[in-house]
Amino acid sequence: MPDTPDTTRAEIRLPTQELRLDLPFYTKVLGMRLDMIYPADNPEVAVLSGHGLRIRIQKGAAEAPGTIRILTDDPAFAEGARELTAPNGTRIEIDALNPPLVLPRTEHAFVVRRLADQAPWVIGRAGMEYRDLVPTRLGGAMIASHIRVPDGPVPDMVHYHKVGFQLIFCVKGWVDVLYEDQGGKLRIAAGDCFIQPPGIRHKVLHSEGVQVVEIGVPAEHVTEIDHDMNLPTPYFRPDREWEGQKFVHSLATKGTFAPFRIPGFEARDTLIHENTKGVASVMVARPTGVAPWTKHDGDILFTFVLSGEMTLEGEGKDPYRLSPGDAFVIPPGMATRYSDTTDDLELLEVSLPGNPLTSF
């Protein structure tokens, strides 16, 4: 059992040449509290605390002065300064406690990522294996990952993501997850998906043979651990919104197919367009006939081959024969055609914003 705060403390030691110059800076400018100082006749050590930090400033200490980052939403903190240097040489960086999410401008590109090209799997959070499906990440606008989760209990913690849009689509196997205000354990299996609204707390519990495709916008986003919340929460609030988006648990067995934006295909709507108020749409498409050449005018259009095969043709590009595990991104205004499709072809299409206008 870990020690409690009453029996164990941690300090960061910083050097100084003249302690009396440091105390006014750390107490008055940075608002820290003096907890200890000695010896009384000629002080050489002072211990201060504040903002979740405890520091020991010691005359002649061998350490480098270091850097302290203070996060605050108080515009008057340190009279609005963003960088300061303490008398002992320690650099102080002051930044926003909750900075706004920045969505980079999309750097449009035609991208094809094939499983047969042997893109490396890397070990990520909680022991999960990740394969990058869009290496360019479109200039930081999005990240698409093919993820394998080891069988059995997942060593996960309650956490959330500071993100604009996030999708978890199950390709194989199944996985159980707990979500804030969504009742008890929820499961997705092949063809099912979750949309995780920005900031919703969740925890992965258990999986068997699972592979998922995860889409995140923007590509670089922060994952924070919530040490205070226990899941499941006692409330069931299916209509709750997080930054204008609702949680979605879409089951393939409950979906119906209707004509798709591309003639010669039909698609199952996951209702994500409706529940994100148009931020994104997520469709599972399959062929019904011959598709024409098309162009879209959206921003991001990502597709993952779930099953079957097809040939992706693009203007000015060599054709690509695609099979399960392959992925591609089509930039706006580029003419493409899905041809030579097999009867068992199924495509996962994610578009931002949702339901882009398509011309033939």
pLDDT at residue 182 in the model: 97
pLDDT at residue 316 in the model: 92
- Domains of the chain by residue range: 12-94, 117-252, 254-359
Positions in the chain short of pLDDT 50: 1
Q: Which fold has domain 254-359?
A: Jelly Rolls (2.60.120)
Residue type, 77: F
pLDDT at residue 167 in the model: 97
Give me the residues paired with residue 123 across strands: 129
Asked if the 12-94 domain carries CATH number 3.10.180.10, the reply is yes
| CA pair distance 62, 139, nearest whole angstrom | 43
Q: Which residues of 29-56 are buried (b: 16+ CB within 10 A; e: fewer)?
A: ebebeeeeeeeeeeeebbbbebeeeebe
3-class DSSP state of 274: helix
Phi, psi at residue 22, to the nearest 5°? -80, -35
117-252 with 254-359: one CATH topology?
A: yes
pLDDT at residue 121 in the model: 82
What is the chain's length? 360
CATH tag for 117-252 (out of 3.55.30.10, 2.60.120.10, 3.30.70.141, 1.10.8.60)? 2.60.120.10
Q: Which of 305, 122, 159, 282 is nearest to 217 (CA)?
A: 282
| CA pair distance 360, 358, nearest whole angstrom | 7
Sequence-distant (6+) residues with CB within 8 A of 325 are: 114, 115, 146, 304, 305
Distances (CA, A) of 267 to 190, 228, 284, 348: 16, 41, 5, 9
31 within 8 A of 70, measured Cβ to Cβ:
no
Neighbours of 202 (CB within 10 A): 23
Structure tokens at 17: 């040449």
pLDDT at residue 13 in the model: 97
Beta strand 91-96 pairing with 67-72: parallel
pTM of the model: 0.87
